[in-house]
Copies of this chain bind each other. A is one copy, B any other.
Amino acid sequence: MTEKFNLIERCDCNVIHEDIINQVRDKMPQEESLYDLAELFKVFGDSTRIRILWALHEAEMCVCDIAVLLNMTQSAISHQLRVLKQANLVKNRKEGKVVYYSLVDDHVREIFDQGLIHINEK
């Protein structure tokens, strides 16, 4: 029997289920894709960022408006907007001193919706 995978530990199941394990292994996406996917969901996994995204789905807003809306400091909002921008979820435009943020596209809404479907089925 050829050693198809590196084992940390092995139990009888592994031998019995070897075919299934290898079959699943073959179908698994690239390690990197799954990592990227986790990184994306990590961005959605914070209620401050979720609230910012929800607000921006309703209207383009500047940093201090978001801060007031969410009752948080401008600095905290600015830090989170940076995270959202790095994840390519929001974009901004500058108008004098004021920086307006908005959603890049409507994927955000679709991801929200899928999440809500799960929560509401419970």
Q: Which residues of A contact B (CB under 8 A)?
A: 5-11, 13-14, 17, 20-21, 23-25, 27-29, 33-47, 49-51, 54-55, 58-59, 61-62, 64-65, 67-69, 71-74, 88-89, 98, 105, 107, 110-112, 114-119, 121-122
Contact partner of A107 (CB less than 8 A), chosen from B28, B55, B59, B114, is B114
Contact partner of A61 (CB less than 8 A), chosen from B20, B43, B44, B105, is B20
Query: Is A69 within 8 A of B107, CB to CB?
Result: no
Copies in the complex: 2
CB distance from A14 to the nearest CB of B (A): 5
From known contacts A38-B44, A44-B45, infer whether A64 and B11 are also in contact, taking CB-CB under 8 Å: yes
Query: Is B20 within 8 A of A68, CB to CB?
Result: no
In the complex, chain B residues whose CB is within 8 Å of the CB of A21: 61, 65, 68-69
From known contacts A11-B64, A13-B64, A65-B14, infer whether A24 and B119 are also in contact, taking CB-CB under 8 Å: no
In the complex, chain B residues whose CB is within 8 Å of the CB of A42: 41-42, 45-46
Query: Is A115 within 8 A of B40, CB to CB?
Result: yes
13 A-B pairs in the complex with CB atoms less than 8 angstroms apart: A8-B73, A14-B64, A20-B61, A28-B51, A28-B58, A34-B50, A37-B50, A37-B119, A38-B44, A45-B45, A88-B122, A110-B117, A111-B114
